[in-house]
Structures are given as structure tokens and as C-alpha cells.
Structure 1
Amino acid sequence: GLIDMGSGHLHPLKLNVAEARIAENLGAKIFENSRVIDIQKGTQCIVKTEKAEIRCDQLVICGNAYVGDLDKTLSAKVLPAGSYVIATEPLTEDEAQRALPQDMAVCDQRVDLDYYRLSADNRLLFGGLCTYSGRDPKSIIDALKPNLDKVFPYLAHKKIDFQWGGMIGIGANRLPQVGRLQDNIYYAQAYSGHGVNATHMSGRLIAETINNESNRIEVFEKVSHMRFPGGPRFRSPMLAAGMLYHRFKDLF
């Protein structure tokens, strides 16, 4: 095993909400539930949503696993993979001490890894179940609870209070993809499950470039990222078959 004392764990939603509040205080305007349906590229880009049209001199595409048909170059290099989390009812102090006595965030090294940690109120957050079908399981609890019970059999009696999940963006080489499609269109995607830290790095690189503060983005633009084979229809099934091979290797 490996312990990284230079890292930590935090509440990602609280971080997101706080950063949104700071951005709004600095003059940014945030429009939720405004799905983009088309992008027209040019010296001035036109971004169309279902209800509005936005014209901009600089455009940053950060759709990641949800970029879809907005840009075929980007969508061919990032594959959506489902990742899910369940949260138990609060553990007793004895249960929490037995499960994670040093309150560390943990992940294993399997292809379809498990990851888990304690929340501030002593719930066990248990995630994993990396899927490549593009579909969510009918019940996240039913899909993940057996994994939790295998790792923590003495917590099998604990009730599951919450379940959630969504698609993360996987790149073929597992490196973040950050760069420019043209002089005024930037992109960042494919964090491969490490989005909390990699998104902040990517955002800073893009902001520095837009403001002519640095050219550090060029380091990432030199990295070659392959397109996933199979096209939109067969890309996910082909990767699922490949990942099945690696899961068998994990078993044996």
C-alpha cells in the first residue's frame, strides 16, 4: 500500500458552491439548466441553448463526459464512464474507528476500483462500480452494496441513506486533455476520476492563456491523445469488452 500524506479529502459540492458564489461576486453570471445544443465557431462564437443564444469572443468547452455532439473532435477522445457513490447512516465512533482509524480517503488499484472515506458526520461514503455502458444502474444501492459488504462485512447491517452518481470522462492515456481547438476556443476534459484537482489546474492554465499571463497550456497541447475506435455507436461497447479483459486479470 501507499500513503500520501501530501493529499487530503474535502466536500466537493461545498467547494463548488463556494467557488460559484465567489465568481458571482466578481461579476460572473451563472445559468444553470441551460443545455447547449449547438456551437457555431468563428472569430466570434455563437453558443445556442434551448432558450437563448450567446455570442462570445472567447469560448471554453468543459463538457467532459457530457460534451456529446457539440464537438466531434473532443467527444472522440473522451469516453463517458459511470461512477457511483452510496452513503451509510452515521457510524458509531467505534465503527468509524474500526473502518478508517486515521480518517483517510482510500482507493484500491483495481481497474474497476473501490474508493471510500468518512464524512464529517461519520457516514461511510463508498464509491466505485466504473461502468462503460453509458447507462446508470437501476439501483445504485443494489449495485454497490455488495462491494461495500465485501470490504466492510462488519458494517453490512448499516442502512444506506443516500445514493448518487454520474459520468466521468476517461481519456485513453488517463492524462487531462487541455488545449485549444482554435485561437479563441479552449477546452478541458478527460480527468479520469481526478476532477476535483485536475479541473482547478486546467482552469488556471486556460485563464492564464486568455489573460496573456503564461504559455503553460502549451505543455499539455504537446501531448498526443488518441481517438477511441468504433465511432459513437461502438466506442463504449468496445471499451467495455477491453475493460472486461482487465477485470479478469484483476481476478486472477
Structure 2
Amino acid sequence: MPKTAHVDSWYAASANQNLEFPTLAGDARADVCIVGGGYTGLSSALHLRERGYSVILLEANRVGWGASGRNGGHVGTGQRSDQATLEKLVGLEDAKALWQLGLEAVDTVCELIARHRIDCELKTGNLHVAAKAKEVDDFREEVEHLHSVYDYPQVSFVGRAELAEMTSGQGFHCGVLDKGARHLHPLNFALGLARAASDAGAQIYEDSRAQSWQEGQQVRVKTASGEVRADYLLLACNGYLENLAPRAAGRIMPINNFMLATQPLDDALARRLIRDDVSMSDSLFVINYWKLSADNRLLFGGGENYSRKFPADIPSFVRKYMLRVYPELHDTRIDYGWGGTLAITMNRMPDFSRLSQNVFCAQGFSGHGVPTATLAGKLMAEAVAGSAERFDVMARVPTHTFPGGTLLRWPGLVAGMLFYSLRDKLG
């Protein structure tokens, strides 16, 4: 039976290894069963094996098939919400703990890449740009706040004149440059994690969708062709959780985001778009994000929808967002366009939870998944080993069930997103 193919993207076309794992057949036993073969699940598997636990990972398709193999590749510092918002939400002490965990998340990604020699185009820096003139003071105050309260000197304010030297992007009023951020090739990072976890002894099964699970002193997870019995269950499905865990599903909303890859650009044009080869993102509610690939393609993410279907012509769907930023690319060929499903929460902070004594879940990374999901795997491994303090710092951040639960959350989300999209357009 042929394996599920990766989506047709530039990432799949430039994948540097072709991993294949068997399908689960029959009954199996492990200390820990992980459902989901993205960053969270793969990081969990690797960190658990380093602690000596036997691990079985079940992936419904291919490892890295979901958002972990399709995203923008940004490895940002901090959390998805800014620190001022977090201070109001959880207090200064926990906000500082969350900031440190955000820095550790980036360090964890870099450390795993170095230790396991993962070839994934790791680069340095992110430039976040203000799409509205009224945000200039907010950007400047954020930099000063991170300097004075968080002792983080790696961010700097970029005024409009300097910004014009750093990018030919249109419509921006200032920026914040974060030299502590990173960016990478997301699918090759996921494949590298899978290789490292497998080499460490984790049993990985592809085309092995978890259909149901039964909790108890020993958890039982069923697939179409087998069953896993384990002492612990880690749910690492994010936007693909669906009905597997109704108690957790209502706290996330799956949404679809889209990307394109241009033809390779000449060096002069590439440097004009992004002089210092950093990743970039804007401040719109429906965010645009972009970077250059190793072969000088512009990888641009823009636009999203809230149905179960992708646009029929994804390159054209995303191209209009790209041209608002870079009208000079009007005649540039688009070689790839693809979409992926991620999960957001109501306040855009990740949802960490313990569904029972031996069942953990981490989800809702809200577009900040490369570092946060990788760290989530590390923290869940710590919790399984009996040290849940750091997992609990994340779990204490309040995330709420969407109004209407899983049945009625879509109409409310669509109405809300349309409101914020209109506000973006009106400035």
C-alpha cells in the first residue's frame, strides 16, 4: 500500500531525506504512546528516549505531514502574546517565567539541530514591521520594556528611514529587529527530529491514525490495524485533533493558512527584498510572514480561511498579499503554493493540559509552533518523568473553550476574523 504523500510544496520538493516508517500492525506495548508526528510528538519521543522510556509514536499520515512540514519556518522568541499582555493575564512573575521558557524554546531548537546535525537552513534574526502608523510608539515601548524589565538586549527599534534600507517592502512605519530569533526549513527540521528519535530507539508508525483511546491505569490506543497499551498517553495533534479528545478540542480552533514560493531570485533582488536575510512578519491581525530560502526564493505566507477546504488556486490567493508588500514582484513566477491547518486558541496562547493523571496534551500554538511545540515535547517528557513544574507554568495560562464548543465555534470565529480583517484594511 503506497504511503501518504507530503503536500506539493517547496519544502517537500527540497526535503533532504525520504523517511518511511511502518504501519502499526497488531498489539504493541510501551511506557509512553504519543499521538502525532509533528514537532510536539517528535520532540517528546526524542526527549523521552533520552530519559530511558520506551516510546511508540502514531502518526496518521507521514511524520511532518501537517503544519510542522508546511509552516513559515520562523523560530521566534517569547510567546505568541506580547509580554505586556501576559503580565495582565498571569502576573509579572509568571510572565517572566514564560519569557524565559520562550527563550529556552529557541535554544532547544538550536541545540537539537546542532547535537543531531540536522541540515535545515538555520539562520538568524527576525524583523517585525508595523503596518499602521499608530503602532510606532507601541513598538518603541515594547523594545524599552524588554530591555528594562526582561534584561533582553537582542531587540532594537528600527525607524522608518533605517527600515527602508533593510527592505523594499511597502506600507510599513517602523520595525523591531530581534537578533535572538531564528528561522529554518520546517520540514527538514521535522525530518531531522524523526531521524534522531528513531535512532534513539523510538518506534514510529506512519499511516497509523489513532481512532480512539481508553483511559485507565494503562491507556489503550486503537488504530485501524492495531492497539497500543501504555502507561502514559501524550496527545500531540494540534489542528488535527478532531474528535479524538473532546475535552480538549473545544479550546482550539483549526484554521487554514497559505504560502507560496517564487522562482529563485537573483542576489541583488533578494537582498533588496530582505537585505540581511532575516525572517519578516507584519503586525496585521491576519498576519503576513516571509523569508528567503537557501536558493533565494521568497517564501511568503498570507491569507487564511476557516472552512475545511483550501482555495482552488492557492498561488493566486497568496500572491495578492505578497504584491501589497512587494509590488516589484508583479512579473515574478510563482513555482509553488500550498496550505496547512494549524490550531489557534482564543487568546493565542498555547493550551497545555493534563486530561487525567497519565494523559497530557499540548496544542493551540497559534502560529508560534516551531519553538513552542518543540519545547512542549521537552516539557511533557519532564512531566512524565515526574517533574511537572515547568509544564504547569504553561498549563496555568488560562485558555478558554470557544463559545458553542466544537459544534458552533466556526460562525463566531468567522465573524470575528472578518471584523479584524476589516479593521486591518481600514487601519
Aligned to 1:113: 287
Question: Under a length normalisation based on structure 2, what TM-score does the superposition of the two structures give?
Answer: 0.57
Distance 2:407 2:361 in 1: 24
Structure 2 counterparts to residues 221-236 of structure 1, below 5 A:
221-236=395-410
Aligned to 1:177: 351
Which secondary structure does the structure 1 equivalent of 2:178 belong to?
Answer: coil
Question: What root-mean-square deviation, in Å, do the aligned CA atoms of Structure 1 and Structure 2 show?
Answer: 1.2
Contact 1:80 1:134 in 2 (8 A): no
Contact 1:133 1:240 in 2 (8 A): no
Aligned to 2:87: none
Q: What code does the residue aligned with 1:46 have? A: R
Contact 1:134 1:236 in 2 (8 A): no
Distance 1:15 1:44 in 2: 32
Aligned to 2:253: 79
Q: What code does the residue aligned with 2:183 have? A: H
Q: What code does the residue aligned with 2:286 have? A: D
Distance 1:251 1:11 in 2: 31
Distance 1:186 1:234 in 2: 26
Aligned to 2:338: 164
Q: Paired residue for 2:190, among 13, 16, 29?
A: 16
Contact 1:178 1:188 in 2 (8 A): yes
Aligned to 2:268: 94
Distance 2:366 2:218 in 1: 31
Deviation at 1:78, TM superposition (A): 0.5
Report whether the alignment pairs 1:187 with 2:356.
Answer: no
Identify unmatched segments of 5+ residues in structure 1: none
Percent sequence identity is: 38
Distance 1:83 1:66 in 2: 14
Which whole-Å deviations, capped at 9, do the CAs of 1:25-81 have from their partners, x for residues lacking one?
A: 111011112111111111111111122111111100011111011111111000001
Bigger shift: 4-13 or 205-214?
205-214
- Say which structure, 1 or 2, has more relative contact order (CA 8 Å, 6+ apart): 2
Bigger shift: 215-224 or 70-79?
215-224
Identify unmatched segments of 5+ residues in structure 2: 1-174
Deviation at 1:213, TM superposition (A): 4.1
Structure 2 counterparts to residues 30-41 of structure 1, below 5 A:
30-41=204-215
Deviation at 1:165, TM superposition (A): 1.7
In the comparison of the two structures, how many residue pairs are matched? 252
Contact 2:302 2:322 in 1 (8 A): no
Report whether the alignment pairs 1:129 with 2:303.
Answer: yes
Aligned to 1:51: 225
Distance 2:263 2:384 in 1: 46
Aligned to 1:212: 386
Which secondary structure does the structure 1 equivalent of 2:205 belong to?
Answer: coil
Deviation at 1:214, TM superposition (A): 4.9
Deviation at 1:195, TM superposition (A): 0.7
